[in-house]
């Protein structure tokens, strides 16, 4: 399985068809594991890292789930290819910086991805569209159980799975959901929500994890703690909180429709106008405007067939995705022109937002797709 | 002056706190200070924890062992990276880590998944311990018949 096949197919989780997919973009669970008799990757010497890699990689490739896998050593991936995988959330930014001694194995559907010698010897993740944390956990848990039959994981009866960073010790599990919350941002309630979520031991981060900006009104909500709680309980707790966040976002949308329809329509209309007519656009602006298009579709201002092209643009306008079709590296201004061009052509056939004959005040009647 | 957390941006938030008579200073950029939740002085302990600055101090206070006998990792390395060297480090630095883990997590004991292999050996260990205890009791009670039986059972492990 070659990388370009992976890159040309969008992958299952980008299909956007899971439960609550309008607000929950994706659900993801990752497990951190280490071999018992080697130092962690950050402390291991080069030859040890190579030994670890050769002990793990063949076992991962033997898994039935990986029969059609794409498996590659980090040094055999170009910087651009790595960046594409980062944008698809298939490898971490940290893993993209690795060279000799690391590898990544992922299935063709791009729902399972296993990083070898990232911060831990194994970082295994499952990702699916919409809110389905339980089934995503089951996917990765099954894989973990199969692997542990063949590999001796560092485990302490008291502390659980031992990880390089003490913040992951115990279950070694980080479960997260990516949520799209434009109405909570517009109505300035987002900080309250973030604070409330933080208080109960969950973290809220930007699009690409720790220390990144919440571009496009996209946020990642994940568990903060890994020790002293069962995997199933962490998942259930997170699931409940995400359901509440969905409800808050839906309420905020209804509030905006009823109380501030002009603010809402202004953002959606400007998004539509600029995206359809701009000739230069950076990825930050693109994500933020696309977010309002997505909201417009959710609220029924655009017909449903507009959804897929917009969802695709979220990914296709990212810097590395933009360049994967071009033969040479583009400068920032060239990327911005290309980005605007791709967006214009995709949005060319989009109808104007349908706000009803009675003006924006009637916007609420179009909120059928909730 | 650059931010202590991301090392990239200009630091604009300067925190000073005195803990046990020692002064600690942290310089953060605006983004990192927000992310670490440093909005008031009481939030500092959290920032400290997340940055791993206080972590090493916690370890110095708690533990006396300087290097992990298995992998050679030291407390200074932990202070620098915020990561441990190998699985055995958790044992080596257990005293210092205990405080750290307590502040970081919901509990101090793992109650989640146990790998099948470990489960077998954990069960075996506990069976062995039970037999050894019973054997000691039997010997103390001069019940040599039971003691012989327990000794034979222990031999099987």
- Per run of 10 residues, the mean pLDDT along chain A (length 370 residues) is 68 72 95 96 95 96 92 92 92 92 93 96 96 97 95 94 96 96 94 91 79 82 95 96 97 96 95 97 94 96 94 91 83 94 94 68 42
Number of Cβ within a 10 Å radius of residue B21: 5
Residue in chain A nearest B94 by alpha carbon:
A159
pLDDT digits (tens, 9 = 90+) for B93-145: 998 899 889 989 999 999 999 998 888 777 788 888 888 899 999 999 999 99
Q: Residue A85's pLDDT is what?
A: 93
- Beta-carbon separation of B90 and A229 below 8 A: no
Contact status of A195 with chain B (Cβ, < 8 Å): no
User: Chain A contacts of B82, Cβ < 8 Å?
Assistant: 165
- Could you give the C-alpha distances from A230 to A160, A162, A175, A200, A234, in angstroms and in order? 11, 16, 12, 16, 6
Task: Categorize the per-residue pLDDT at B57 as very low, low, confident or very high, splitting at 50, 70 and 90.
Answer: low
Q: How high is the mean pLDDT of chain A?
A: 90
d(CA A171, CA A173): 5
Q: Residue A274's pLDDT is what?
A: 97
Tokens of B15: 């925190």
- Beta-carbon separation of A225 and B31 below 8 A: no
Residues of B with CB under 8 A from a CB of A: 5-6, 31-32, 35, 37, 55, 71, 73, 77, 81-87, 90-91, 97, 100-101, 104-118, 122
d(CA A162, CA B84): 10
pLDDT digits (tens, 9 = 90+) for A310-365: 999 999 999 999 988 777 788 999 999 999 999 999 999 999 998 764 444 444 44
User: Chain B contacts of A166, Cβ < 8 Å?
Assistant: 55, 84, 97, 100-101, 104
Between these two residues, B1 and B61, which has the higher pLDDT value? B1
Considering only the beta carbons, identify the residue of A43, A171, A225 that sits closest to B71.
A43
Considering only the beta carbons, identify the residue of B71, B104, B113 that sits closest to A171.
B113
User: Chain A contacts of B87, Cβ < 8 Å?
Assistant: 34, 36, 40, 154, 156, 162
Domain extent listing, chain B: 1-39, 42-110, 116-156
Tell me the pairing of strands A218-223 and A173-180: antiparallel
Q: How many residue pairs from chains A and B have C-beta atoms closer than 8 A?
A: 119
- Reply yes or no on whether the pLDDT at B32 is more than 80: no
- Beta-carbon separation of B31 and A211 below 8 A: yes
pLDDT digits (tens, 9 = 90+) for A210-227: 656 678 999 999 999 999
Q: Residue A359's pLDDT is what?
A: 44
Helical H segments across chain A, by residue range: 3-8, 46-61, 79-87, 93-96, 133-148, 182-186, 190-199, 231-259, 261-277, 283-298, 307-316, 319-323, 332-347
State the nearest Cα–Cα gap between A34 and chain B, in angstroms: 8
Q: How high is the mean pLDDT of chain B?
A: 78
User: Chain B contacts of A160, Cβ < 8 Å?
Assistant: 110, 112-113
Q: Residue A370's pLDDT is what?
A: 41
pLDDT digits (tens, 9 = 90+) for B6-30: 777 888 777 766 665 566 677 778 7
Considering only the beta carbons, identify the residue of B83, B85, B111 that sits closest to A229.
B111
Tokens 């222990």 belong to residue: B154
- Beta-carbon separation of B110 and A227 below 8 A: yes
Mutation target to probe the B interface, by most B beta carbons within 10 A, among A142, A170, A199 is A170
Q: Does the interface ipTM go beyond 0.90? A: no
- Beta-carbon separation of B112 and A171 below 8 A: yes
């Amino acid at each position: 399985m070659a990388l370009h096949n992976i890159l040309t197919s969008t992958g299952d989780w980008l299909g956007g068809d899971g439960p609550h997919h309008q607000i929950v973009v994706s659900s993801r669970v990752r497990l951190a594991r280490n071999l018992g008799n080697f130092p962690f990757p950050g402390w291991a010497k080069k030859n040890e890292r190579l030994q670890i890699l050769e002990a793990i990689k063949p076992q991962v490739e033997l898994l039935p789930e990986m029969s059609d896998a794409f498996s590659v050593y980090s040094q055999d991936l170009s910087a651009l290819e790595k960046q594409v995988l980062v944008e698809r959330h298939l490898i971490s930014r940290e893993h993209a910086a690795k060279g000799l001694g690391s590898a990544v194995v992922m299935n063709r559907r791009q729902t399972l991805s296993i990083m070898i010698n990232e911060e831990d010897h194994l970082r295994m993740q499952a990702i699916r569209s919409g809110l389905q944390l339980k089934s995503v956990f089951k996917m990765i848990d099954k894989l973990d159980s199969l692997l542990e039959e063949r590999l001796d994981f560092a485990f302490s009866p008291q502390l659980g799975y031992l990880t390089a960073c003490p913040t992951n010790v115990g279950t070694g599990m980080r479960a997260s959901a990516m949520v799209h919350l434009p109405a909570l941002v517009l109505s300035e309630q987002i900080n309250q929500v973030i604070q409330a979520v933080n208080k109960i031991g969950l973290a809220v981060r930007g699009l690409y994890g720790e220390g990144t900006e919440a571009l496009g009104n996209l946020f990642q909500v994940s568990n903060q703690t890994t020790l002293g709680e069962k995997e199933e309980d962490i998942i259930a707790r997170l699931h409940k909180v995400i359901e509440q966040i969905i409800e808050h976002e839906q309420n905020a949308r209804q509030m905006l429709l009823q109380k501030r329809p002009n603010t809402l329509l202004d953002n959606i209309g400007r998004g539509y106008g600029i995206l359809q007519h701009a000739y230069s656009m950076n990825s930050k602006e693109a994500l933020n405007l696309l977010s309002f298009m997505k909201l417009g579709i959710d609220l029924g201002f655009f017909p449903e067939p507009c959804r897929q092209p917009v969802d695709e643009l979220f990914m296709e306008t990212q810097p590395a995705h933009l360049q994967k079709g071009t033969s040479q590296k583009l400068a920032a201004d060239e990327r911005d022109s290309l980005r605007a061009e791709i967006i214009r052509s995709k949005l060319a056939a989009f109808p104007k937002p349908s706000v009803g004959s009675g003006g924006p005040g009637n916007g609420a009647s179009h909120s059928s797709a909730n | 002056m650059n931010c202590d957390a991301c090392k990239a941006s200009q630091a604009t938030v300067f925190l000073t706190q005195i803990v046990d008579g020692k002064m600690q200073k942290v310089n953060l950029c605006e983004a990192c200070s927000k992310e670490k939740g440093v909005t008031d002085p009481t939030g500092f302990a959290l920032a400290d924890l997340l940055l791993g600055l206080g972590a090493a101090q916690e370890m110095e206070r708690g533990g006396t062992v300087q290097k992990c006998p298995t992998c050679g990792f030291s407390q200074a390395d932990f202070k620098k990276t915020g990561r441990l060297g190998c699985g055995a480090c958790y044992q080596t630095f257990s005293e210092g880590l205990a405080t750290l883990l307590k502040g970081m997590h919901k509990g101090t004991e793992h109650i989640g998944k146990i790998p099948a292999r470990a489960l077998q050996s954990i069960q075996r260990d506990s069976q062995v311990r039970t037999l050894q205890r019973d054997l000691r009791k039997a010997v103390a009670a001069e019940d040599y018949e039971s003691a012989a039986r327990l000794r034979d059972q222990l031999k099987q492990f």
